[in-house]
Structure 1
Amino acid sequence: MNAKRKIEIFSADCPLCEETVERVKRIACPSCEITVLDMKDAAVADRAKSLGVRSVPAVAVDGKPAECCIGRGPDEAALRAMGIGQP
């Protein structure tokens, strides 16, 4: 018997997050144990941050963020380059 694969979906309960939840559920196999985590919960947000998650929706498999879910989100340098913080 195969070991369960632990899948965590970090969600803000928005339409894009719900789409990701449905997609993961659709492609999951019987060895996948899916947990949807609410980023409004401080402990969940801390866990996401510890994994390097910077935006939602995000997916982690067996405690490792999916390649598509890391390194995204607002970046201060990029925002400043767009003129934020300048008169």
Structure 2
Amino acid sequence: MQNQIKRKIEIFTAGCSVCEPMVEMVKSMACSSCEIVVYNLSQPCETKECLEKVQEYGIKALPAVAVNGSLLSCCQNNGISMEELKNAGIGQAA
């Protein structure tokens, strides 16, 4: 039995009508090798982990997606694209 490597997908959202379709798109593309964590920044997280990650990744706009600890380039400027998500391996078994 092979040990399957998980892909950690972190989604940063404001819980708004602009963010929710993107959250659903990422979730619909995810595969069994994907672990999804959604941080809704409109609701403070108890541990402050979400705010620390926003600073660590340099997130300037929402929605945003990080895969395996790296903010996707589509989230650094013009928004999230399906092509960038695919290039990051989302939806593909490891």
TM-score by length of 1: 0.74
1:25 maps to amino acid? K
Alignment gaps of 5+ in structure 2? 79-94
Cα deviation, residue 71, structure 1 = 4.1
| Structure 1 segments of 4+ aligned residues over 6 angstroms from their partners | none
Does 2:14 correspond to 1:8?
no
**Higher RCO by CA contacts (8 Å cutoff, separation 6 or greater):** 2
Alignment gaps of 5+ in structure 1? 73-87
Q: How many residues align?
A: 73
Sequence identity, in percent? Answer: 43
More helix by share: 1
1:55 is aligned to 61
2:70 maps to amino acid? K
Change (3 A) 1:57 1:49: same
CA RMSD of aligned residues (A): 1.9
